[in-house]
Amino acid sequence: MTNALISVSDKSGIVDFARALHAQGVRLISTGGTAKLLAAEDLPVTEVAELTGFPEMLDGRVKTLHPKVHAGLLARRELPAHMAALKDHGVDTIDLLVVNLYPFEATVAKAGCTLADAIENIDIGGPAMVRSAAKNWKDVGVVTDAAQYPEVLAELQKHGRLSHALRFRLAVAAFNRIAQYAGAISDYLSSVEFEPEKLCDTYVPRRQTFPGQSNGIFTKVQDLRYGENSHQSAALYRDRCPAPGSIVTGEQLQGKELSYNNIADADAAWECVKSFKLPACVIVKHANPCGVAVGTSAREAYAKAFQTDPTSAFGGIIAFNRPVDGAAAEQVAKQFVEVLMAPDFTPEARAVFQAKANVRLVKIALPGSDASAAWSQGHHLMDAKRVGSGLLLQTADRHELQLADLRVVTERQPTQEQMQDLMFAWKVAKFVKSNAIVFCKGGQTRGVGAGQMSRLDSARIASIKAEAAGLSLKDTVVASDAFFPFRDGLDVVVDAGATCVAQPGGSMRDQEVIDAANERGVAMVFTGVRHFRH
């Protein structure tokens, strides 16, 4: 390897990398700020302008867009005609390209980003060089991420060159990065509501929630054994920048590889449990919470959650929002569990599960509490669902009900204890498939009815499950994810023992249902928002 061209926006680790290249006898060629940095570190560096014989111009917009750069990258070494052309025109080969692009994604993510700033951070020369180098991967290594530096140096120091396998991997990563970059630019520009009359350097454009073109970019984490059924194949992908505290940021500590269904159910359990402030436990089976509770400890929360539906909890997915200690682990270990998630596991808890090698333990850090940014709280911004040859996109359901949002519509007023249970029940109902009916009392689900075509049937199923678990529904509260279209749904939950009900309201027959609640002597509150989950 003879020549390396280095031009990086993010200069993390570049000095040490360049110094190691120099130690291998590699000539360093660079541009602008990168060249100044390397020179300041006493590294011999050739400016691109010296290489090309053409000065940087237009405030640096034009510097590497030159035949001597691209010919040096694109020339195929095994073709005599290519090498002769380089010699005739005094062009040196470039054997290693080190480029990371202008920070377009970070720029447009900032509040108050102007259109001028966004446009100025669209890299032109960088992507052009990366494409040239990656196309000629058999002869040129292309480094687009600082995380690649150690592997590149290891091969150079051991063999004096890069293997075909590494160069190909680097080229694939380079084309992926170019696709991500172009997608980000397209997403941004096609979301801008252009107002030419306001155009100036300080113009901050309004942006549509849904851009004219959606360019979702996901990176494969792993292939899965199979999909939802054994005859389907599957893989897990993650966002390029996953939200902190999301399922794909987890670390599996033990157990078999997670399956497609494991991951889908684990996501449902984790999203639900992290919505609680008190120590909480959520048990999920077939994408629905079958037991949810809060307590003074992880152990107590689990015991209450398990009590809701022990039958469904068998082989379920369990999530805690507190570290699992030895006491909680010993309690959980008494049942068959597929996946157990928590922010952490104590050494005592790990020891308990060492004897159960098939139990999948997953450690996931809880997200932060920055109220101004959904992403930093671990919430993805969009939900997607495939339909025939199309895609449905919607903003994620991040609505958080507050006590002040509840509007009492009946003569009977809920007690303070009932109001707290209503808030708990409403959180759970948000994660239950529609139609959803959730009976709760004392920070514990007592009966959950999910996924039925009729709200009446969901209410009846919740009652049946409570009876099967030996739990009384007397004086419980109920959350319904959508309004009661008729009084019959209310009558079913009151007959089962509920004395307080939360529902969105908004039906043409709201007054009929309110009158029924007054007739039955129960309290009812309207939330003003529904939580359909399909």
Q: Which residues are identified as catalytic?
A: 135, 286
CA distance 131 to 175: 7
Q: What is the dihedral of CA 455, 456, 460, 462, to 10 degrees?
A: 20
Give every CB contact of residue 243 below 8 A, 6+ residues apart in sequence: 249, 367, 375, 376, 377, 378, 379, 380
Burial of 43 (0-12, 13-18, 19+ CB in 10 A): middle
Residues forming beta bridges with residue 57, ordered by sequence position: 62
Residue the block writes with tokens 């897990």: 236
CA distance 140 to 318: 49
Give every CB contact of residue 489 below 8 A, 6+ residues apart in sequence: 455, 456, 459, 480
Question: 147: which 2 tokens?
Answer: 């995380």
Q: What are the backbone dihedrals phi and psi of residue 69, each rounded to the nearest 5 degrees, phi first?
A: -75, -50
How many of the other CB atoms lie within 10 Å of CB of 510? 18
CA distance 317 to 360: 10
